[in-house]
Structure 1
Amino acid sequence: MSADNREQPEGRRPIGLYLGGGAFALVIGAVVAGSLSRPDPLSFVPTPVAPRPPVDHFVLDTVTVDARDGSGWVYFDFDKGSAVEGPLAGWDLAVNRYHIVVNGGTGYPGAGGAIATTAPWAAVTEAPAAGYETTEGALNDGPATPGLERWYTYGFFSHLLEPKDETYVIRTAEGRYAKLRILSYYCPQATPGCVTLVYGYQGDGTRRLTG
């Protein structure tokens, strides 16, 4: 029998097998540790529904829309600075859990639209004249506004939705303009469905998005 065909001595194992097994165990350990060390997300208490009189100037504000109940949509009106009671009251954004759509598109009464941009908040000083994406699909049939639909990233280990570093320009239902950033998707105790928005709304009808 040639030397190449000799059996290995009993009890001898290839070192590569051990190295491969060790690496696999390390990977599994990292995945388990990551899933157990879920960070606490930024969270906010829902803002009470309190519509204000319409404004004719630039307004900066932060609002937390309570969209925890996925059985229906919650409506927000920039002009009133608040959630409003149902679509007949006039609205600019509709929120259902992590879905956000504008009041514009086929079948919608408003002129709403959205543009997503990676520009910093302070750099967005004027709303574009065109390029706005409108809502596709009815509210009761899984609608989506392309400019707003993927505002988040999903954490594989944390299982949390994290807002993207984007500024959104919104054309409202009445054809006015606002800019917004999404700060968080969580209520206290990491309960999902509280969508917190910081926004600047121009009530004078111009495209200027500064005070």
Structure 2
Amino acid sequence: MIAAQVNVIFYSNRKVFSRQHSLSVMNSSTRKEKFSIAFKEIPKMAIAIVVALVLVAVLFVLRSLRNPEIPWFAVSEIVPAEVGENMVGPIQRTVDGRAEQPVFFDFSRGSVVDNVDPYGWDLEISRFNIRSNGGEGFIGNGGILDLGEVEFTSVQTLPEEGYQQNNKERDITNIAIDRWYNYSWINHLLTPKANIFAIRTADSRYAFIEILSYYCAGAQAGCLTFRYYYQGDGSTNF
């Protein structure tokens, strides 16, 4: 009698376990089917975006591991020489702007100048900041105009109007030239844009420049290299 009861209980428990196991298998199968359906419902565009982001991240890391070539130039000698009413160019100069105090460049003498009088300079340079000799608090009539991305050798005439003078609210740089560079978040280097900048000098003559580099010998930051044409007769023709 007892053995019969034990068999009944055993078979009863076995049926319950078998039923639970079947339900578990069914639930597992159902979850897999739902996951498969959900995965299939993910738009292909979303998958493509994720793959693209991964590739961009990989390229970002690979580029950050490379040592970029930094164009640098030796600082030009300070040898001012009057050019009079002649047109000169192309001339290339490298100005050392690493000191705490700004340095001053005069196009009519083609050089950085030490003894600065109110009209005796055209550009003030302090590291990557550039100002003209014109605007509130300045004696000269200087200004800067961004000509955009044009070929340096193609410039033949400059505008007579539209030059930006220094703004008191932006007293560290001239707004027309404050973004002459691209900044890299990968290697933290400044590289010049391809823009050409027209310059109206302190005494209302004209020049235009192309910035070539921001680095001194040994790839030290703070030296501004540019090439330019200067028209000494007061016209805008080159």
Instruction: Give the distance between the partners of 2:222 and 2:233, measured in 1 at CA.
Output: 32
* Counterpart for residue 12 of structure 1: none
Q: Which has the higher contact order (CA 8 A, sep 6+)?
A: 1
Q: Which amino acid aligns with 1:112?
A: G
Q: How far off its partner does 1:2 sit?
A: 6.9
Aligned-partner SS, 2:92: strand
Query: 1:91 is aligned with what amino acid?
Result: W
Quote the residue 2:27 is aligned against: 5
Give the % identical residues. 37
Task: Confirm or deny: 8 A CA contact 1:76 1:83 kept in the other structure.
Answer: yes
What pairs with 1:103-182 in structure 2 (closer than 5 Å)? Answer: 103-118=133-148, 119-137=150-168, 142-182=171-211
Which residue identity is paired with 1:65?
V
Q: What is the CA distance between 1:86 and its match in structure 2?
A: 5.2
* Distance apart, 1:27 and its partner CA: 5.7
Question: Of residues 80, 96, 104 in structure 1, which corresponds to 2:126?
Answer: 96
8 A Cα contact 1:38 1:157, kept in partner: no
- 2:171 and 2:134 map into 1 onto residues whose CA distance is 15
Larger Rg: 2
Report the counterpart of residue 46 of structure 1 in structure 2.
75
TM-score by length of 2: 0.74
Q: Displaced runs of 4+ in structure 1, greater than 3 A?
A: 1-5, 21-32
Provide, for residues 137-179 of structure 1, a one-character-per-residue CA deviation record: whole Å limited to 9, x for no partner.
Answer: 28xx842211111000012323211111111110000100001
Moved more, 47-56 or 23-32: 23-32
TM-score by length of 1: 0.83
**Which protein has the bigger helix share?**
2
Unpaired runs of 5+ residues, structure 2, are 1-22, 33-38, 40-46
Aligned length: 202
